[in-house]
Amino acid sequence: MIYLEIPKKHRTLIDQAHQVAMNMLRPISRKYDLAEHEYPKELDMLAAMIDGLDASGASEGAGATGVRRDADADKSNKNGANMASALSVAEMCWGDTGLTLSMPRQGLGNSAIASVATDEQLKKFKGTWASMAITEPSFGSDSSAITTTAKVDGDAYVLNGEKIFVTSGERSDSIVVWATLDKSLGKAAIKSFVVTKDMPGVKVERLEHKLGIRASDTAVITFTDVRVPAENLLGSPEINVQEGFAGAMATFDNTRPLVAAMAVGCARASLDLTRDLLKQAGVEIDYDKPAYLQSAAAAKFIQLEADWEGALLLTMQAAWMADNKKANSLEASMSKAKAGRVGSDVTLSCIELATGVGYSESELLEKWGRDSKILDIFEGTQQIQQLIVARRILGLSSSELK
């Protein structure tokens, strides 16, 4: 049975995340939005706090966790690390999405490592700050179109290619790079490699200027004859044509609910502030009265809250399934599609409800509207998520439904 109440054992962690968001992230939010590409030094202290929790064993879910399935796993109901991570990330993004994405050792690549790596690799890469490099200049959402190559050379793989839109690409100390072992074998030959920044041939070419999440650096990185030790290939090096893209896509089963949680957190920030602004303007929101009997502003706000609640519950469901070792690819895409769309709708609608105040820099509403849009794009666009959901429900392959 699924329980979507916040587990008692995680409430302290989630409350701490909210306090950090309110007292550390929110006060510097505008500063680093205006100072694009400047590293938020305040995050170093926060990272040290998280490291301390890790050392004490009190931080289940505070870091990047993964979807790891074990057929012999305990069958009892759990609300574990994935649920805690999702809810903590939502709280942090209530403070600031860009700063959350800039947290040391909490990169999207860390979630990839946690999802796909062997037990030995988990130990080897413990403590690294890993960004994730998938997208290339020749494609956007179609990850199967990867052209970056990995050729076997003795006890190493030689990587060549270019990756764009790498979140924390400059600041991270390692990169999870998706590359193909043999383009002729299609999706099944796509593997992920942990590439450290000190390997010869790795070069950060430039940083992108962006609409939102400006506190987070987004890089273009090239790989020229980069020799990567064979043991840095995550998971199995075997090419299983029957399995297809499933091994690589397991990463998204973890990261998509986390991105959904980011959208949920950013949207809630907008709702909380807009509720206060409406109250100051004399707009009463009465939850005991039908929306059609209230002002247009109140009715719109109630509708936005209802949409937000749906996004939250879908996100929690996807995380719960991961904790309980259940296949969650469908639910991961559903949560990402719902939360991504709702996040943009809520933040932009809150700007509209707040009128001139919402559009000005006197409040953070306009910033949240800019930040939220990326959460509907990266880790698979809205359209791609809808396509994946349709394939799962109809039982069709990618070649049968494009």
Contact between 172 and 109 under an 8 Å Cβ cutoff? The reply is yes
The two structure tokens encoding residue 369: 């509207």
The DSSP annotation for 148-162 comes to -EEEEETTEEEEEEE
The DSSP annotation for 275-312 comes to HHHHHHTT----TTS-GGGS-HHHHHHHHHHHHHHHHH
Which entry of 36, 352, 379, 400 is annotated as an active-site residue? 379
Q: Return d(Cα 252, Cα 257) in angstroms, integer.
A: 8
User: Catalytic residue at 379?
Assistant: yes
The two structure tokens encoding residue 8: 């008692």
Contact between 358 and 365 under an 8 Å Cβ cutoff? The reply is yes
- Residue 6 DSSP class: P
Q: Give the sign of the dihedral formed by CA 252, CA 258, CA 261, CA 263.
A: negative
Element (H, E) at 83: helix 81-95
Q: Return d(Cα 20, Cα 374) in angstroms, integer.
A: 23
Q: Return the half-sphere exposure (C-beta side, CA atoms, 13 A cut-off) of residue 180.
A: 19
Q: Return d(Cα 389, Cα 401) in angstroms, integer.
A: 11
Q: Return d(Cα 181, Cα 157) in angstroms, integer.
A: 9
Contact between 333 and 258 under an 8 Å Cβ cutoff? The reply is no
Q: Return d(Cα 307, Cα 222) in angstroms, integer.
A: 41
The two structure tokens encoding residue 111: 């979630």
Residues annotated as catalytic (active site), given as ranges = 379
